[in-house]
Amino acid sequence: MLTPGVWGVVATPFTGSTFDLDEQSLARLVEHYERLGVTGLTVLGVFGEAAQLSTEERRAVLETVVDAVELPLVVGATSLGAAPVVEEVRLAQQVAGDRLAGVMVQVNSPNPHVLAGHLRAVHEATGAGLVVQDYPLVSGVSISADALVTALRDLPFVVAVKAEAPPTPVAVATLTAALDVPIFGGLGGLGLLDELACGAAGAMTGFSFPEGLIACVEGWRNGGYQAARDAWLPYLPLVNFEQQAKIALAIRKECLRRRGLFPESSVRPPAASLPESLHEQLERHLAAVR
Amino acid sequence: MLTPGVWGVVATPFTGSTFDLDEQSLARLVEHYERLGVTGLTVLGVFGEAAQLSTEERRAVLETVVDAVELPLVVGATSLGAAPVVEEVRLAQQVAGDRLAGVMVQVNSPNPHVLAGHLRAVHEATGAGLVVQDYPLVSGVSISADALVTALRDLPFVVAVKAEAPPTPVAVATLTAALDVPIFGGLGGLGLLDELACGAAGAMTGFSFPEGLIACVEGWRNGGYQAARDAWLPYLPLVNFEQQAKIALAIRKECLRRRGLFPESSVRPPAASLPESLHEQLERHLAAVR
Amino acid sequence: MLTPGVWGVVATPFTGSTFDLDEQSLARLVEHYERLGVTGLTVLGVFGEAAQLSTEERRAVLETVVDAVELPLVVGATSLGAAPVVEEVRLAQQVAGDRLAGVMVQVNSPNPHVLAGHLRAVHEATGAGLVVQDYPLVSGVSISADALVTALRDLPFVVAVKAEAPPTPVAVATLTAALDVPIFGGLGGLGLLDELACGAAGAMTGFSFPEGLIACVEGWRNGGYQAARDAWLPYLPLVNFEQQAKIALAIRKECLRRRGLFPESSVRPPAASLPESLHEQLERHLAAVR
Amino acid sequence: MLTPGVWGVVATPFTGSTFDLDEQSLARLVEHYERLGVTGLTVLGVFGEAAQLSTEERRAVLETVVDAVELPLVVGATSLGAAPVVEEVRLAQQVAGDRLAGVMVQVNSPNPHVLAGHLRAVHEATGAGLVVQDYPLVSGVSISADALVTALRDLPFVVAVKAEAPPTPVAVATLTAALDVPIFGGLGGLGLLDELACGAAGAMTGFSFPEGLIACVEGWRNGGYQAARDAWLPYLPLVNFEQQAKIALAIRKECLRRRGLFPESSVRPPAASLPESLHEQLERHLAAVR
């Protein structure tokens, strides 16, 4: 099982007009995460722009992260078919070795039997523990929480679920009641307080202030709703600002840049870059939580 | 032009297993709004379940609101074609008379010329001032902010825009820079702080604590970001909780019920009712802002 | 039960720059249908642009059709909520009286219990027999064929299903195996041959040559696949041409115009009009089947 | 420029319960295509289930095809980001060498400048000629035909466009009028007759009877509408049958199997397999054109 807590979803910094991988900044970023005390890191996820990287770049990202920190890693797979997913898993296993806490695989069918077969095929070919990501906005696949329970019920190699199909608190409640694996919230922390209340084991997401996620999750554990709320409240305006449709990635990378973690905040096309009209407000939000 | 500020979007209370219109509770609700000091009310909007009402019920809703309060009214039209919209507008004019501050019409085409033609046809047939609602999740129509500017630029009878196509702050910035009409945010206030920063004239939405919307908008006017943020922060966990996809309507009606404004919180099918798993957290959120 | 065969879905002719209802042409059109020997007519359906008509215009359409022909009528309801559907049904009952063979109601939920409740509510309020239309492109609601069976199994007042969720032949096969009501194909006849092979009771659609639909359905009854195919083949290029996404309505109305049934082929905005680039090919297709 | 005519989109045969690549059947399939006289082959397209293949399998598919036939090849790229597309292009160049007539790249943005930048980046990194595929159902990206013209106008390395955004004949007309590259239709030939009439250079698709596509395209060249129609008519019922949403791939592979080209017709999950209810009709359609 994946350790409950906060798993930081790692951004991928680029440099120059050709958007070259900036390994040095990546190392600095994950070292920062480690210092903050995250439970682990999620590498090559959606927020890491994994679908925009070549195989060689994916390997370089993994190597950089493995070398820079000691944290356990979840590595994302981008494809929806078993054969290319297996290829991605093998790369992760090769580079991350026993640092690999799990491989994150997308829900690829609304049909629980097809999904279970897919996960089984990936596990049987690789032996990897699987984090199942239910993120319809990215995968294009919508599964009901009940069908997800049916799919995952008898798969002992599933080590966690990342629930990103709104309304996520309701999904978290259904999944935690029926499955014995930890369920994590994502979506930049937009529903974190409610996901925790519904039984979430923590957050796995890329909010630019992971210390906020940590404070909220620890608040919940130690003091319940009120403590989590108090810890989370100062960050919430920035959370909502970051989690804007279409431009969330660009906003968060710019936040990381202004925090001094990246020299450049560019995103690879076709992702949208940060609209000029948001610069001033971004600075205000940052000033309020620094 | 529509008066800047907070326009409350009015819910429609139902009673019994046949979901009959509860006019008495509706009157109490809008009187509550008036006491809170909203700028005006938006009746027969999406949050008012207008698409679930018969013509007779729409008339009854309008009559009840007109009788109960003195506030200016925006009345929503549900259809996307000119002929049925005109029919809806005429009903609104008949009942609301000079209380009618504007009729809210949906964007019905991504093509600015088609949209302008539609708005012109509705205005020419009725003489009504129009609030243009850009809400792709409901209308099924996506228009770019630039195309919306093109459509609305030369329409003197447009009195406001309700911008509900995320990322809404970016849309608000584009629209306020190019048009001379007030632009309102919606979506339960999820992006209110950022919409105000980008030039929004206020909020037109159905959050269960309109006093929070008012405090935030007045905070912005009087003290800028910091004051608006301070005023809004306590409400933000509830805002995010309410604004959950698919169940937002059910959550908000239950919040209104627990505030004592409705005796029943049922929503007309096929809208989803409130999941059991959220009851406890709903109560926590309410307790925190009461 | 609805009589098997070909139910013609009636277009609504407009005239002039204000798209006024052209009742005279409408009468001529349905008289033409009657002469061709259709089983019945479907009025105020999607192809009839019902969502673009005012209540008064809907009434005028119904009255015109009732007066012009002796055929049994299915009348479409546009709304997805019970209260406005009931209002539409009552208008149909008032005007069509015992000529009303059924009222066509859209699937409004993927949840079979919600859908069954909706249909029951409409029937209980009106006593009408219901034709259930499963047309996700228009309703925005996708239901599986299995869930549709669950919803309809115990509803004795359902008199037919119109299956328009591709792949339609598979849906027809599932529905005919499990339900005792006739299942009709639609979608302009694009899959008619296969729908008949899978058990369809006929076609309910707006192809501009209803005689082709009739020849195909009768071919199937009397001579099976080969006869139906032979009868249908000459029309198939026009069927595919007409059934083009976004412009199907404009193409078909222009075909009706060139057949001499309409003086004008305009469609009400925001529907797209006929692209200039298709005029020549349209004429070729018509010449080939005249 | 890509040679006008019929480019066969090659299916990928699998064998056994693990869906192993069946190279022998693949060779037989493309030899069959060559004997039929297709202009060229499109390998690793959507119909080739490229998104379900590992890198090693993609290489094996390319090698098999290159070895088996002498035809020019278009090789599909599956990714939407420049870096992984470049990786796919390099594999194609490595294996296909000067047999490579073009690399097929998906439209990845509705914004013409973003799309042009993407294509330029891919071309500059590889030198490859590009076939631009506009297939929103697969890419999830919708671009208007006008924006596509803007994007492609000044890109001399674009060698063809594959227009698969319905209504495709209208898109073909717009693109052929404004661009100097050949425009091909796809979608199983559903609109072939109309695409040719609007200026298409031919078909690039995976219909199970490529001889039908060839007969239609040659008919159009030599005898115009009537000849093309006469040639195409016998195949049209099968075209419509094959092109059913969600199951098109499974139907076509079964058609190829029954033609003796494959020993097995399985598709890799999560693609749907052939519904039992269609077997009999599939056989009828095949019997009619054999």
Per-residue model confidence as pLDDT tens digits over C88-120: 999 999 999 999 999 999 999 999 999 999 999
Beta strands in D84-200 (DSSP E): 100-106, 130-134, 158-163, 183-185
C contact test, residue of B15, B79, B143 with most C CBs within 10 A: B79
Q: pLDDT at position C285, please?
A: 98
As a whole number of angstroms, the distance between CA C144 and CA C111 comes to 9
Summary count for chain D: helices (H), strands (E): 12, 10
Going by pLDDT thresholds of 50, 70 and 90, the confidence category of residue C41 is very high
Q: Which of A138, A54, A70, A144 is nearest to A104 (CA)?
A: A138
User: How is residue C267 annotated by DSSP?
Assistant: -
Flag residues of chain A having pLDDT under 50: none
β A14-15/A20-21 pair status: antiparallel
CATH topology of domain B5-233: TIM Barrel (3.20.20)
For chain B, the chains sharing at least 3 beta-carbon pairs closer than 8 angstroms are A, C
As a whole number of angstroms, the distance between CA D192 and CA D176 comes to 15
Q: pLDDT at position B255, please?
A: 98
Tell me the ipTM for this assembly.
0.97
Going by pLDDT thresholds of 50, 70 and 90, the confidence category of residue D127 is very high
β C73-76/C40-43 pair status: parallel
Instruction: Provide the residue count of chain C.
Output: 290
Q: pLDDT at position A167, please?
A: 98
D-chain CB neighbours of C237 within 8 Å are 193, 229, 232-233, 236
For chain A, the chains sharing at least 3 beta-carbon pairs closer than 8 angstroms are B, D
Average pLDDT (B21-25) is 98
D-chain CB neighbours of C246 within 8 Å are 166-167
The 10 Å Cβ neighbour count of residue C90 is: 15
As a whole number of angstroms, the distance between CA A132 and CA A159 comes to 8
D-chain CB neighbours of A83 within 8 Å are 52-54, 57, 268
Structure tokens at B146: 């630039």
β B202-205/B5-9 pair status: parallel
Size of interface A-B (CB pairs under 8 A): 109
D contact test, residue of C168, C252, C277, C285 with most D CBs within 10 A: C277
Instruction: Provide the residue count of chain A.
Output: 290
Average pLDDT (D209-238) is 98
Q: Which of B197, B191, B232 is nearest to B215 (CA)?
A: B232
Residue with token string 């319940």: A224
Per-residue model confidence as pLDDT tens digits over D81-120: 999 999 999 999 999 999 999 999 999 999 999 999 999 9
Q: Which residues pair with A203 in a beta bridge?
A: A6, A185
As a whole number of angstroms, the distance between CA A220 and CA A202 comes to 10
Q: Which of D202, D186, D182, D213 is nearest to D36 (CA)?
A: D213
Q: pLDDT at position A55, please?
A: 98
Structure tokens at B26: 């509706």
Q: Contact, B12 vs B26, CB < 8 A?
A: yes
Q: pLDDT at position A224, please?
A: 98
As a whole number of angstroms, the distance between CA B248 and CA B273 comes to 9
Size of interface B-C (CB pairs under 8 A): 80
DSSP for C26-39?
HHHHHHHHHHHT-S
A contact test, residue of B137, B146, B176, B194 with most A CBs within 10 A: B194
A133, B214, B225 from B204: Cα distances, Å? 35, 11, 19
Instruction: Provide the residue count of chain D.
Output: 290
Per cent of chain C over pLDDT 70 is 100
Closest Cα of chain D to C144: distance in Å? Answer: 13
Torsion angle (degrees, nearest 10) of CA C227, C233, C238, C241: 110
Contacts of residue B58, defined as CB under 8 A and 6 or more positions apart, other chains included, come to B44, B50, B88, B91
Closest Cα of chain B to A168: distance in Å? Answer: 8
Q: pLDDT at position C250, please?
A: 98
Check C288 against D236: CB less than 8 A apart: no
Closest Cα of chain D to A73: distance in Å? Answer: 23
Q: pLDDT at position B236, please?
A: 98
Structure tokens at B272: 């989803």
Q: Which of B40, B42, B124 is nearest to B86 (CA)?
A: B124
Average pLDDT (C192-208) is 98
Closest Cα of chain D to A260: distance in Å? Answer: 27
C-chain CB neighbours of B57 within 8 Å are 83
The values of phi and psi at residue C162, to 5°, are -110, 110
Size of interface A-D (CB pairs under 8 A): 80
B-chain CB neighbours of A194 within 8 Å are 240-241, 244, 278, 281
Q: Which of D85, D2, D8 is nearest to D48 (CA)?
A: D8
Is this structure's pTM higher than 0.95? yes
Domain extent listing, chain C: 5-233
The amino acid at residue C103 is V
Closest Cα of chain B to A245: distance in Å? Answer: 5
Going by pLDDT thresholds of 50, 70 and 90, the confidence category of residue C243 is very high
B contact test, residue of A240, A247, A289 with most B CBs within 10 A: A240
Question: In sequence order, which ranges of D140-202 are alpha helices (DSSP H)?
Answer: 145-152, 168-178, 192-197
Over chain D, what is the mean pLDDT?
98
Interface of C with B (CB under 8 A): 49, 51-57, 79-84, 86-87, 108-109, 111, 114-115, 117-118, 140-141, 268-270
Per cent of chain D over pLDDT 70 is 100
B-chain CB neighbours of C105 within 8 Å are none
B-chain CB neighbours of C52 within 8 Å are 81-84
Q: Which residues pair with B104 in a beta bridge?
A: B76, B131
Structure tokens at D2: 């890509």
Check B170 against A275: CB less than 8 A apart: yes
Closest Cα of chain A to D82: distance in Å? Answer: 7
As a whole number of angstroms, the distance between CA C196 and CA C224 comes to 9
As a whole number of angstroms, the distance between CA C210 and CA D104 comes to 41
As a whole number of angstroms, the distance between CA B113 and CA B148 comes to 10
Check A80 against D270: CB less than 8 A apart: yes
Closest Cα of chain B to A86: distance in Å? Answer: 33
Beta strands in B30-153 (DSSP E): 40-43, 73-76, 100-106, 130-134
Average pLDDT (D50-73) is 98
The 10 Å Cβ neighbour count of residue A90 is: 15
Nearest to D166 among C174, C226, C244 (CB): C244
Over chain C, what is the mean pLDDT?
98
The values of phi and psi at residue C278, to 5°, are -100, -5
Per-residue model confidence as pLDDT tens digits over B154-182: 999 999 999 999 999 999 999 999 999 99
User: How is residue D2 annotated by DSSP?
Assistant: P
The amino acid at residue C11 is A
